[in-house]
Amino acid sequence: MRRLVVREVGVGGIVAAVVFTLLACVALSPNAAQADVLGHAQGVGFRKVWDIDTATGGVTIPPQFASCPLVFPPNIVGNFENNPGFISALAFKDDVLYGIEFGGTTAPVYLYKFDTPDCAAGTRVGGPVGFAELEGLVYVPPSNGDGEGFFYSADWDPSGPAHNAQLIRIDPTTGIGTAVGDHFLRNLRVEGMTYNPSDDLIYAVTSGFGGPGDSRASELVTIDYTNASASVIGPTGVAPFVLKSLEFDTTRDGSPLMAGETTLHELNPATGASLGSIAGGWEGMLWALALPVAGGSCPDTDEDGICDDGDASGIAGDAPCVGGATENCDDNCVSVSNALQEDVDSDGVGDVCDNCTQVFNPRFGTLSAADRATHQTATGGQHDGDADGTGNKCDAKITAAGQFVGGTDLFELIASFNKPVAGVDCGTLGNRRCDVMDLDGLGQFIGGGDLSTSFGQFNLEPGPNCGADCDAVSLGCEGPACP
């Protein structure tokens, strides 16, 4: 079964979450057992989680939520800054459910991650977001463009003669938001949001604020998430302030665009008009709709949207993403988030974890057995004989003398000529590890290729590597030279 998750707010501020049951089974998180329902509930006096049939409006309460206490989960209520704070929108990143907090005040709000199977408890994601009056939440998965791999929400700025919406980009790792472009949609408040990959746009429903000189009805709009430019498709025909949520139901024929209030409306994506509504067995207002990504879960250690084993070969890292690819390939930096998989030297190691970012030096797994055997010390799976976080191919600095590669380094290398890479008798004094001199990463003896590499780096600093935090410890060091 696939699920469309909905958040419900009842009369008098009573809040609950609702889950639409669709057609494909999805796990609550990549590391959790599969659950019958995804979502979280909160409220004053009660909370409920629903399985809802979107075609008929029929609802059931899943067994694992039937005995949940009729109060906030303890690890959520204690974290709310706003009073009363509540989750105003839900969205899935892959198959993990997230929510955004709203309190109607200027107090800080947070992104929440609901990855605990017991009663859908949640935890904060870093933050605060940095904006107070957020509604709507949508995740744009990484592909090959700017602004992808982030959540988006909409802030509402009540200052000045016009009350304007502002698109906010939220980092799923830090929970911190940044404004995209300028204010848009004068005197409109964005409510529900969803992403349509076919045209690479965010769709949103709005409520007309009716500010000075401008009273507008609820409308369906599209938003370019790269620059926050918005286009109005048309009025929904539903009263202002009513529609609160939006989602394409891709599990049904035609992928109808569903908008939630006390009933479910199907909207025409070409005109914005409501094509009719379905009354269901839930109680109160449907504040958020959220549909998991199809296809089940995959391990994603750094939560950047790129699967550790993206080609599903059973071996993570055997087919790393290169050339800007982000699909059907393995995350090229499993432990460091890099949604766009940038890899300047195309060696299959992403720039954010590459110990030589501008020189081709793949991880050992892609080398021949003979060459791999000579590489006794590695950082991040790449040759690094002195374990300093800068790979041998861009580190001809053999001695500690000076900042740049110079004559003393060259003399150490020449004294090691034709000695086995696996030896420990290299250098002018015969007491250095020979694998430090193996600059080209080829062959089992120090030779001409290593000398040529040294000449190419003469009078230069080692590197560049993956940055200030790129050292043996952060990359992961293996071998006898590790600190």
Is residue 328 classed exposed, middle or buried when 0-12, 13-18 and 19+ CB atoms within 10 A define those classes? exposed
Task: Give, for 51, the enclosing helix (H) or strand (E).
Answer: strand 51-53
pLDDT at 103: 59
d(CA 456, CA 97): 51
d(CA 297, CA 26): 7
Mean pLDDT for 196-207 is 89
pLDDT at 328: 80
Is the separation of the CB atoms in 407 and 457 below 8 Å?
no
pLDDT at 127: 79
User: Cα-Cα-Cα-Cα dihedral of 301, 111, 204, 150, to 10°?
Assistant: -30
CA 393 to chain CA mean position, Å? 32
The CATH 2.120.10.30 domain(s) of the chain lie at 3-290
More confident residue, 172 or 368: 172
d(CA 136, CA 223): 13
Query: How sure is the predictor about 39, in pLDDT bands with cuts at 50, 70 and 90?
Result: very low
Residue 314: CB atoms within 10 Å: 7
Q: Percentage of the chain with pLDDT > 70?
A: 70
Q: Percentage of the chain with pLDDT > 90?
A: 31
pLDDT at 18: 38
d(CA 194, CA 247): 5
Is residue 119 classed exposed, middle or buried when 0-12, 13-18 and 19+ CB atoms within 10 A define those classes? middle
DSSP code for 434: G
Residue 64 confidence (pLDDT) above 60 = no
Tell me how many degrees the CA angle 145-150-155 measures, rounded to the nearest 5: 120
Query: How sure is the predictor about 135, in pLDDT bands with cuts at 50, 70 and 90?
Result: confident
Nearest in space to 345 (alpha carbons), one of 367, 370, 322: 322
- 206 forms beta bridges with 190
pLDDT at 348: 94
Query: How sure is the predictor about 456, in pLDDT bands with cuts at 50, 70 and 90?
Result: very high
Query: How sure is the predictor about 41, in pLDDT bands with cuts at 50, 70 and 90?
Result: very low
Two tokens at 186?
A: 């004068």
More confident residue, 96 or 70: 96
407-414 vs 448-456: helix axis angle to the nearest 10? 180
β-strand pairing of 111-114 with 123-124: antiparallel
The CATH architecture that domain 3-290 belongs to is: 6 Propeller (2.120)
* φ, ψ of residue 472 in degrees (nearest 5): -60, -35
Q: SS3 for 252? A: coil
Output the pTM of the full model. Answer: 0.57
pLDDT at 469: 67
Residue 341 confidence (pLDDT) above 50 = yes
d(CA 290, CA 20): 9
